[in-house]
């Protein structure tokens, strides 16, 4: 958020009067299963979300992401497997887990008749904060989320985006060590999405473990350090987004004069395509690795082609997701393939040509 002095300040305001939270620790889930009658929503999920990082939870609708989030938040009891949140078992001590966890569902939920201020004060009181501290904390968070002018309005009159910002403030009212965020950017305008990204990065840098579920892969790619992929109730892969540079794949190549570009591509036998609707100064090429992309760019510059853009057509996370989907379509997973016996063994890399 922008401070009165005009400087940018990311992350929620510090709450110095709150009791210290748990030592830095993250999320570990191993072999988690959950059934709703005949429906097996989770079939053996392994997840590690370390402190000091943002972990993206990625998968199609019905893959079990929200069910897993609710298990981690101690709102659902797993049928099998083990979970540790900041070192605490939510089955054995759900109250302790909730003290250390901030939960942001995909909708604001109940209490729509209360005002924004009352919601935050009530949540602070439920987390054991003194009345005066809860009131002060609510005011700080409303200002942080630029909701001060709506503080005394019923939550039901807030727009979808404003309710999302209030929901995030509610999730961090007690300075949790772990954040579980389900579609946090839904309904946010572009400026609010940028602030959300910056706030989450700041909180991760401060040592919090953040697990984010979203279908907007390009946004996750900008903020996440790790990605856990889910399909049909199973964890099926992990991608390290903070590792080395971009992998191979399709790149969009734009030149000032495409007539100078095409002969060079043909001379070096580089396959290209011009897609309907694309700008006429751009072509799409495929490379096998980041090194090959760098070599091609060097060749074009040396040949006098005035290149103005050379970038992957899809984000790294989108590329990994599509590659994983392609691999799963070609070779369906056996019924028990999701039970890897540990989150560490679930961390096979996907979407990188060098590791196929």
pLDDT above 70 (res 151): yes
**And the tokens for 72?**
């981690």
pLDDT category, 349, cuts 50, 70, 90? very low
Distance of CA 116 to the CA centre of its chain: 26
> Architecture of 245-356 per CATH?
2-Layer Sandwich (3.30)
Q: Lowest mean pLDDT of 86-95, 152-161, 255-264, 275-284, name the range.
A: 275-284
**Residue 4 has what pLDDT?**
34
**And the tokens for 301?**
């510059």
CA distance 297 to 292: 9
Q: CB 251: neighbour CB atoms within 10 A?
A: 22
pLDDT above 60 (res 355): no
Q: Residue with structure tokens 């691999």?
A: 327
Cβ proximity of 163 and 120 under 8 Å: no
Q: Give the DSSP H or E segment for 190.
A: helix 190-205
pTM of the model: 0.77
Report the SS3 class of residue 121: helix
Cα distance between the two ends of the chain = 42
CA distance 91 to 16: 30
**Residue 3 has what pLDDT?**
38
Any residues with CB less than 8 A from the CB of 340 and at least 6 apart, and which?
44, 46, 235, 346
pLDDT above 90 (res 201): yes
Q: Residue with structure tokens 């100078």?
A: 260
The reply to whether domains 27-240 and 245-356 share a CATH topology is no
Domain assignments of the chain as residue spans, ordered by start: 27-240, 245-356
Cβ proximity of 84 and 28 under 8 Å: yes
Torsion of CA 145, 185, 223, 292, to 10 degrees: -150
CA distance 283 to 319: 18
Q: Lowest mean pLDDT of 26-35, 180-189, 347-356, name the range.
A: 347-356
Mean pLDDT of 228-235: 92
Any residues with CB less than 8 A from the CB of 184 and at least 6 apart, and which?
104, 164, 167, 168, 196, 200, 212, 214
Torsion of CA 91, 97, 102, 106, to 10 degrees: 0
Q: Lowest mean pLDDT of 11-20, 73-82, 125-134, 253-262, name the range.
A: 11-20
Pick 18 or 128 by higher pLDDT.
Answer: 128
**And the tokens for 134?**
């809860």
The fraction of the chain above a pLDDT of 70, given in percent, is 82
pLDDT above 80 (res 283): yes
Q: Which residues, listed in sequence order, are joined to residue 102 by a DSSP beta bridge?
A: 179
CA distance 243 to 286: 21
Task: Please write the tens of the pLDDT for every residue from 285-295.
Answer: 988 888 899 99
pLDDT above 60 (res 143): yes
Q: Lowest mean pLDDT of 19-33, 147-161, 179-193, 279-293, name the range.
A: 19-33
pLDDT category, 276, cuts 50, 70, 90? low
**Residue 356 has what pLDDT?**
31
Pick 1 or 235 by higher pLDDT.
Answer: 235
Task: Please write the tens of the pLDDT for every residue from 107-130.
Answer: 877 577 899 999 999 999 999 999
The DSSP line for 194-243 is HHHHHHHHHHHHTT-EEEEE-S-HHHHHHH-SEEEEEETTEEEEEEETTS
What ranges make up the beta strands (E) of 38-177?
Answer: 39-49, 53-58, 80-85, 101-104
Report the SS3 class of residue 270: coil
The DSSP line for 22-72 is PPS--EEEEEEEEEETTEEEEEEEEEEE-TTEEEEEE--TTSSHHHHHHHH
Task: Please write the tens of the pLDDT for every residue from 287-346.
Answer: 888 889 999 999 999 999 999 998 887 777 777 777 777 766 665 554 544 433 333 333
Mean pLDDT of 265-284: 82
CA distance 273 to 277: 12
Nearest to 56 by CA among 203, 179, 202: 179
**Residue 78 has what pLDDT?**
96
How many CA within 13 A on the CB side of residue 272? Answer: 21
Pick 253 or 113 by higher pLDDT.
Answer: 253
Pick 118 or 356 by higher pLDDT.
Answer: 118
> If you average pLDDT over every residue of the chain, what do you get?
83
Q: Give the DSSP H or E segment for 282.
A: strand 282-287
Name the class of domain 27-240: alpha beta
């Amino acid at each position: 958020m922008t401070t009165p002095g005009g400087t940018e300040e990311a992350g929620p305001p510090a709450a110095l009067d709150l009791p210290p939270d748990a030592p830095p620790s993250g999320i570990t889930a191993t072999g988690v299963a959950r059934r709703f009658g005949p429906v097996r929503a989770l079939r053996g999920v392994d997840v590690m979300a370390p402190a000091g990082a943002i972990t993206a939870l990625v998968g199609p609708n019905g893959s079990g992401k929200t069910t897993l989030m609710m298990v981690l938040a101690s709102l659902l009891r797993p049928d099998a497997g083990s979970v540790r949140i900041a070192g605490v078992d939510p089955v054995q001590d759900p109250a302790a887990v909730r003290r250390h966890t901030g939960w942001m569902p995909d909708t604001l939920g109940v209490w729509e008749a209360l005002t924004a201020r009352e919601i935050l004060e009530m949540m602070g009181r439920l987390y054991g904060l003194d009345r005066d501290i809860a009131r002060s904390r609510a005011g700080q968070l409303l200002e942080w989320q630029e909701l001060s002018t709506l503080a005394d309005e019923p939550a039901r009159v807030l727009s979808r985006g404003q309710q999302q910002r209030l929901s995030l403030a509610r999730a961090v009212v007690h300075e949790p060590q772990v954040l579980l965020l389900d579609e946090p950017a839904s309904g946010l305008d572009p400026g609010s999405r940028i602030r959300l990204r910056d706030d989450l990065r700041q909180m991760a840098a401060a040592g919090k473990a953040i697990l984010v579920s979203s279908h907007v892969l390009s946004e996750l790619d900008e903020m996440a350090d790790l990605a856990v992929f889910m399909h049909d109730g199973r964890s099926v892969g992990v991608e390290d987004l903070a590792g080395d540079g971009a992998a191979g794949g399709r790149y969009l190549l734009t030149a000032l004069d495409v007539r100078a570009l095409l002969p060079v591509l043909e001379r070096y036998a580089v396959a290209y395509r011009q897609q309907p609707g694309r700008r006429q100064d751009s072509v799409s090429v495929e490379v096998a690795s980041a090194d090959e992309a760098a070599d091609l760019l060097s060749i074009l510059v040396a040949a006098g082609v005035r290149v103005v853009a050379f970038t992957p057509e899809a984000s790294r996370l989108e590329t990994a997701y599509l590659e994983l989907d392609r691999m799963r379509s070609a070779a369906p997973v056996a019924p028990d393939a999701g039970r890897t016996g540990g989150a560490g063994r679930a961390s096979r890399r996907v979407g990188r040509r060098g590791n196929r």
